[in-house]
Chain A
Amino acid sequence: MQHFDTIIIGGGPAGLEAAARLSKFDKHVLIIEKDPALGGKLLLWDKLFPDFASSEELLHQLIENIKNDNVKVSLNTGIKEIENEGGLWNIIDNHNNKYSAKALLLATGFDVFDASRKEEYGYRIYPNVITSVDLEKILSGEVSHAEPKKVVFIQCVGSRDEKVGNHFCSKNCCICAVKQAIEVKEMYPNSEVYCFYMDLRMFGESYEELYRKAQQDYGITFIRGRVSEVSPTYHGQVQIKAEDTLLSRPIRLTADLVVLMVGMEASEGTVEIGKKLQIGGNYDYFKSKNQHLADNLTYLDGIFVAGTSKRQMSIPETMKDAAAAALEINNYLN
């Protein structure tokens, strides 16, 4: 049995930031990550909104911050058992290693919505229907794609959608689509880019400005409308049927590439641990003790939560939440 001050489950931005902060408080931390690399969903993105910052550089910095004797990392590691014994949290991992700590920070993050559940959009049925995650690979040059003449973004895929059981807003997709639409225009200047939205929620700093820039400088067309279906055409494109809800008219577009802006859902790990510890809340995300006053605490003593395992957050919000969690844990340990 190895003992630590804090065990962090999840090596994404929240887990890394919290570990770095705790190590500065001279606390011994173990990060347990199920994947073979640190970074979580940051690994899926090439550039970040709204400033087109490199996710690789951010991740590099986050990892640099934990390179000290106070932080240990265990990759490819899943959790088999978590139980409390005498005020200590004991963990057995999938390699049967045993650890204990006074505090556990759950930073198990989110999963990207599986777009094939929205069958009417034809993801994994028609090759020119991709997700925002797939588009990042094209934009980074990791995957090649024929130059599209017409690109359509569809917002709120798996979010604010009763049919798939997700009433919540994923919050980040609006600005992410604006960022990606600009990147598409920069990559393929001759392409026409359209974006179907329910309403655009430009809440963050300089989001609104970027949205304006997308329209004024890049000529991206934003259409308030719900897409009802995507189907194939004889010439290998896809046809989109939608309703323009400002004009109250049905519209139809033929596109070479459709990008589905997939939302966030509680990750498999979040759901699993939430059930195990009975701290699952709405939509299987972790429930904090008090959203206003104790948002990093749970109803279990010594169990803390941070980042998108709690609800939808952007990366800057996640980092701030992780820093706050580190402060709470430090207070708890002292």
Chain B
Amino acid sequence: MYKHKWNDYQKEIADDKYFYARSCIRQTFFPGSETAFVKMMREEMKKDILDVANQHTCTGIGYHGDIIPFETTSAVVGRLMSLMTEAGYENYVPSCITSFGLIVEITETWHHFPELLEKTREDLYKATKREFNLPKNIAHPSDIIYKFRNELKSKMKYQLVNKETGKPLKGVEHIGCHYAKVFPDRGIGGAEFPVVLSGMIETWGGEVIDYPERRHCCGFGFRNYLVQANRGYSVSNSHKKFESMEPYEPDFIVANCPGCAMFLDKWQYTIAELENKTYDKYGKGIPVLTYEELAGMLLGYNPWELGMQIHQVQCESLLDKIGIEYNTTEKYTGVSGKKIFPPEKPQNLIV
């Protein structure tokens, strides 16, 4: 009989030799996060992680926006796997949570309908002369960081602790829908209480806030945002979450989905400008981080190399609470040394 308790659930995560599949949107939204993950794996964990140049979209956004059919997505995923196969890797690590959900969905579909796998192989071969093996393991990078959270902690320079009070910092975790809501057994801890991010926060000294709208949608919801007329739904969802978490006075938000981190960050600006409302005491908003930024920040990586200045809500309030040193003059200097100009100042949100 089917008697799972999902919060006890632990999934299998490969130990080494990862084929890293980059995300199309994350590199724009959080330009330092993927590089930080590769660096962490190679330099801190001494893992073999392949980051090839000839990657492409998984079609996730188009697929979930109903503009790309299943057959096309299936063939495109097949091509991504052919890159992995060609390189001699078997553990597929898609950076984006939607890619992760999509790859799991496609491979599950192939598992249950082998004729679709054969069709995909045929389509891909006809179009590109490429062939592929199925991955032995599919894990999201947040799974891998969770797996090595204790090892990473031993290398961290900072903890999620307020340096003035000595108390744990309070974090809101937000899990992407495509992480475990579709396939609960593919997320650590299942769909209702995944521990992939809360485990990181707690291991690294912080405290997780359990608030009424914890599992509510971040506000992205694909067509809620992608169709311009629906954007009111998107912002109202984020608004609902902020109102719900506000009494707990969170010090930061961390997400493992590009959409969640993006919208929980940017809609704070929108709400501040629309209603002159911010969700911290000082009018600066609640900093929103990716899990790589969270780990990288505690490892002592330069916050500007991590790309934290690209967020709408600025991260200095969090860096100051932890006691992380940073150079303000470097904030808007690009990695090449070229000056990148600061964004325009909003009217209400303090940046």
Name A residues whose Cβ lies closer than 8 Å to a Cβ of B.
114, 116-117, 119-120, 125, 164-165, 229, 231-234, 239, 265, 271, 283-284
Contact = CB atoms under 8 A, between A and B. Distances in A.
A114 B1 CA distance: 13
B247 to A, nearest CB: 4
Which secondary structure characterizes the binding site on chain A? mixed
B213 interface: yes
B5 to A, nearest CB: 6
Contacts of B222: none
B215 to A, nearest CB: 6
B2 A231 contact: no
B212 A232 contact: yes
A119 B215 CA distance: 12
Interface in B188-227: 190, 192-193, 210-215
B4 interface: yes
Nearest to A284: B1
B189 to A, nearest CB: 9
A199 to B, nearest CB: 24
B158 to A, nearest CB: 28
B7 interface: yes
A119 B214 CA distance: 14
B131 to A, nearest CB: 38
Nearest to A119: B192
Contacts of B193: 119, 125
Given A165-B1, A165-B2, A284-B1, A120 B192 contact: yes
Interface of B: 1-7, 190, 192-193, 210-215, 247-248
Nearest to A238: B212
B1 A234 contact: no
B5 A117 contact: yes
20 contacts: A114-B3, A114-B5, A117-B3, A117-B4, A119-B7, A119-B192, A119-B193, A164-B2, A165-B1, A165-B2, A165-B3, A231-B213, A231-B214, A231-B215, A232-B211, A233-B212, A234-B212, A234-B247, A234-B248, A283-B1
Contacts of A114: 3, 5
A120 B214 CA distance: 12
Given A165-B1, A165-B3, A119 B213 contact: no
A116 B4 CA distance: 10
B210 A231 contact: yes
Contacts of B4: 117
A231 B5 contact: no
Contacts of A265: 1
Contacts of A164: 2-3
Contact of A119 (B1, B190, B247, B248): B190
A131 B47 CA distance: 47
Contacts of A234: 211-212, 247-248
Contacts of B248: 234
Nearest to B247: A234
A231 B1 contact: no
Nearest to B245: A234
Contacts of A116: 5
A231 B213 CA distance: 7
B212 A119 contact: no
Which of A114, A116, A229 is the most central at the interface, judged by chain B CB atoms within 10 Å of its CB?
A229
A283 B210 CA distance: 35
A277 to B, nearest CB: 18
A239 B213 CA distance: 9
Contacts of B7: 119
B13 to A, nearest CB: 21
B1 A229 contact: no
A114 B192 CA distance: 16
Nearest to B7: A119
Nearest to B215: A229
A231 B216 CA distance: 11
A164 B190 CA distance: 13
Counting chain A CB atoms within 10 Å of each CB, which of B5, B6, B212, B215 scores highest?
Answer: B212
Given A119-B192, A165-B2, 8 more contacts: A114-B5, A117-B4, A164-B2, A165-B1, A231-B210, A231-B211, A232-B210, A234-B211
